């Protein structure tokens, strides 16, 4: 779980669930390698359902510790999303874990959001009707149709790490991060930056009007125990 911070208040507003695969020898297989395999084999469906449930239970635990408003962001793969029974499973997970749907957020990547507009529009509306919020992950890397984006029932744009890294450089044509923030403001969406590693990046993002940030500057992805410790040290609990 990696914390997400409100840039103005400094408060921890959420955490993103990031799946880890530890092998018997203690080494980790990176998600960039096993997620595509899980997608190709179809295992992502049961794996994703497990991630959702474990994350909901972790949210229940964290909220009970004294963070009742905390949000949990869960990455959803395109294959999962396209299962005819995806919404049924989503509702079952909400019911079984008893979480407040308002505190759950699904992250779909920009490329997924832009594919098959009619299907996406309909499905996202149904997810939103459950009270769950939607973030567009890796924003800026895909080919968004602005007219489609404007129609989508979404809550948050997540600026891709590459554009946060770029903030220190003098790039011709201006910073993508700044354009995404402005776009978010016009569309009345919250904007979160991922991969924030340096204080000056956080400062620049805040100055540009970005609302939230996530990255090594605050914390790396943590186990449940590490997260509790980190929250305690920060005085958030
Ligand atoms: P993502 O959702 O865009 O996650 C952000 C990635 O950036 C994570 O990599 C995170 O560990 C990394 N990161 C966060 N802050 C920093 C930073 O300050 N510097 C640097 N260099 N990296 C940072 P991770 O955990 O390796 O995950 C990679 C991708 O795998 C994720 O990208 C997501 O697309 C996918 N993934 C992870 N967990 C799940 C899951 O449960 N389900 C699905 N479908 N995909 C997942
Ligand atoms: Mg993500
Ligand atoms: Mg991302």
Q: Rounded CA gap, 66 and 219, in Å?
A: 20
Does pLDDT of 164 surpass 90?
yes
Q: How far is the CA of 119 from the centre of ligand 2 (A)?
A: 21
CB-neighbour burial class of residue 30 (10 A; exposed 0-12, middle 13-18, buried 19+): exposed
Q: What is the mean pLDDT of residues 169-188?
A: 93
Nearest Cα to 19, choosing from 50, 57, 60? 50
Q: pTM for the whole thing?
A: 0.97
Ligand 1 site residues (CB inside 6 A) read 2, 17-19, 30-32, 35, 48, 51, 75-77, 107, 137-138, 161, 194-197, 215-216, 221
Note the pLDDT tens digit of each residue in 202-226.
Answer: 999 999 999 999 999 999 999 999 9
Q: How far is the CA of 153 from the centre of ligand 3 (A)?
A: 19
Longest dimension (CA), the chain: 51
Q: What pLDDT score was predicted for residue 37? A: 96
Pairing state of beta strands 71-75 and 28-29?
unpaired
In DSSP terms, which residues pair with 29 in a beta bridge? 21
Q: How far is CA 164 from CA 2, 180, 225, in A?
A: 17, 11, 29
Note the pLDDT tens digit of each residue in 118-160.
Answer: 999 999 999 999 999 999 999 999 989 999 999 999 999 999 9
Note the pLDDT tens digit of each residue in 49-93.
Answer: 999 999 999 999 999 999 999 999 999 999 999 999 999 999 999
Which three-class secondary structure state does DSSP give residue 17?
A: strand
């Amino acid at each position: 779980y990696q914390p997400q911070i409100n840039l103005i208040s400094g408060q921890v507003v959420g955490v993103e669930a990031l799946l880890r695969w530890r092998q018997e020898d203690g080494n980790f297989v990176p998600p960039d390698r096993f997620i595509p395999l899980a997608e190709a084999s179809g295992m992502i469906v049961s794996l994703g359902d497990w991630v959702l449930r474990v994350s909901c239970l972790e949210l229940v635990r964290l909220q009970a510790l004294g963070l009742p408003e905390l949000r949990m962001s869960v990455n959803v793969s395109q294959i999962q999303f396209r299962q005819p029974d995806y919404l049924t499973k989503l509702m079952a997970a909400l019911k079984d874990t008893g979480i407040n749907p308002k505190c759950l957020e699904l992250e779909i990547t920009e490329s997924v959001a832009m594919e098959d507009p009619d299907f996406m529009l309909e499905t996202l509306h149904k997810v939103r009707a459950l009270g769950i919020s939607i973030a567009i992950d890796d924003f800026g890397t895909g080919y968004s149709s602005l007219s489609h984006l404007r129609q989508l029932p979404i809550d948050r744009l997540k600026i891709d790490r590459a554009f946060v890294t770029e903030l220190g450089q003098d790039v011709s044509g201006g910073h993508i991060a700044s354009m995404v923030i402005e776009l978010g403001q016009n569309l009345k969406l919250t904007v979160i930056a991922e991969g924030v590693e340096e204080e000056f990046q956080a400062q620049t993002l805040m100055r540009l009007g970005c609302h939230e940030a996530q990255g090594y500057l605050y914390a790396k992805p943590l186990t449940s125990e590490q997260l509790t410790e980190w929250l305690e040290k920060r005085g958030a609990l």
